[in-house]
């Protein structure tokens, strides 16, 4: 397991070497993980340094449609940032520790805040495709945890506190930013499931009973890994569909990828104003 720590350091070194030539001394303050179909948000990065995951030691490729698998570094609305375009999922067969490896790597680069974005199904009956939900908390229903196994003491404690898994300060910043922009946003609990099947209607009713507002197959591992490392987390879920059983139609991945586009413009506007505020602060 100590190997994981060495691998993180090796990856950070390779990324720093790569960016040193273009932008000496570049140090990202915020990390952003872009979910399915949200890749275009990274087009806002000035003079981007793009590194395919395949060029970074210890990173895997990505296989899912809509997931490009690139790290992009540069200034995002004036803030030195590192973006992960494309993530690994547990349903692809990766171990949780592999799923969170890119997250751990960007945290080890010194970011203060990690912003996780995703595409989700709306469990809350008030939610509509195109809505953005500020993630206030999550429920881990993946049946696994990226911190399973011997604790990596170099990264964090054996039993990390998760009282504020999603920083309340970040929730306030995101909410007030959306308010100022006149963008109506939702706030709620993300239920993280393993997938890759979408839920049955009975499972969606169960998730609602448990307190979930949106459901998806990502985000939870990364939020756990970042909390372990003491990096504060913010989360935005793009509601792409009504969860199973809430609409007469069947769910398809194509619909999810298509409907993410409904949120991109609002997300873009929120991030422009919120990221310069999110870079500060403690957990």
Q: Would you tell me which residues interact with ligand HPA (CB under 6 A)?
A: 119-121, 198-199, 215-217, 240-241, 243, 251, 256
Q: At closest approach, how far in Å is the CB of 220 from ligand HPA?
A: 12
Q: Which of 241, 244, 263, 274 is catalytic?
A: 241
Cβ proximity to ligand HPA, 68 vs 181, nearer residue: 68
Residue number with CB closer to ligand HPA (205 or 273): 205
Pick the catalytic residue from 96, 108, 119, 274.
119
Rounded to whole angstroms, the Cα distance separating 119 from 96 reads: 19
Which of 59/198 has CB closer to ligand HPA? 198
Shortest approach of ligand HPA to residue 217 CB, angstroms?
A: 5
Min dist. Cβ of residue 45 to ligand HPA (A): 25
Contacts 24+ apart (CB under 8 A), 50-59: 51/15, 51/18, 53/86, 53/102, 55/14, 55/18, 56/11, 56/14, 56/15, 56/105, 57/7, 57/10, 57/11, 57/14, 58/7, 58/8, 58/10, 58/11, 58/101, 58/105, 59/11, 59/101, 59/102, 59/105
CB of 119 to ligand HPA, least distance (A): 4
List CB contacts of 51: < 8 A, sequence separation 6 or more.
15, 18, 70, 71, 72, 73
Residue nearest to ligand HPA (CB): 121
As annotated, the active-site residues are: 36, 67, 89, 91-92, 119, 217-218, 241, 253
């Amino acid at each position: 397991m100590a190997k994981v720590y060495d691998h993180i350091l090796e990856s950070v070194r390779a990324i720093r070497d790569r960016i040193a030539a273009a932008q000496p001394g570049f140090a990202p303050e915020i990390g952003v993980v872009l979910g399915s179909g949200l890749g275009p948000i990274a087009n806002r990065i000035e003079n981007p340094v793009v590194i395919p995951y395949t060029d970074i030691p210890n990173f895997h490729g990505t296989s899912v449609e809509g997931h490009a698998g690139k790290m992009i570094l540069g200034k995002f609305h004036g803030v030195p940032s590192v973006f992960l375009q494309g993530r690994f999922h547990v349903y692809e067969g990766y171990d949780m520790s592999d799923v969170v490896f890119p997250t751990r790597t960007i945290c080890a680069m010194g970011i203060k805040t990690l912003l996780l974005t995703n595409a989700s199904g709306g469990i809350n009956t008030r939610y509509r495709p195109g809505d953005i939900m500020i993630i206030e908390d999550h429920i881990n229903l993946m049946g696994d945890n990226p911190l399973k196994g011997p604790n990596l003491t170099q990264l964090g404690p054996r039993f990390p506190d998760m009282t504020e898994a999603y920083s309340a300060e970040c929730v306030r910043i995101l909410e007030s930013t959306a308010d100022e922009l006149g963008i109506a946003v939702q706030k709620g609990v993300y239920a993280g499931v393993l997938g890759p099947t979408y839920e049955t209607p009975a499972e969606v009713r169960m998730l609602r009973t448990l307190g979930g507002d949106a459901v998806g197959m990502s985000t939870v591992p990364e939020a756990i890994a970042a909390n372990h490392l003491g990096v504060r987390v913010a989360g935005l879920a793009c509601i792409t569909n009504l969860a199973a059983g809430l609409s007469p139609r069947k769910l398809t991945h194509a619909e999810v990828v298509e409907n993410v586009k409904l949120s991109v413009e609002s997300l873009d506007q929120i991030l422009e104003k919120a990221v310069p505020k999110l870079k500060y602060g403690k957990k």
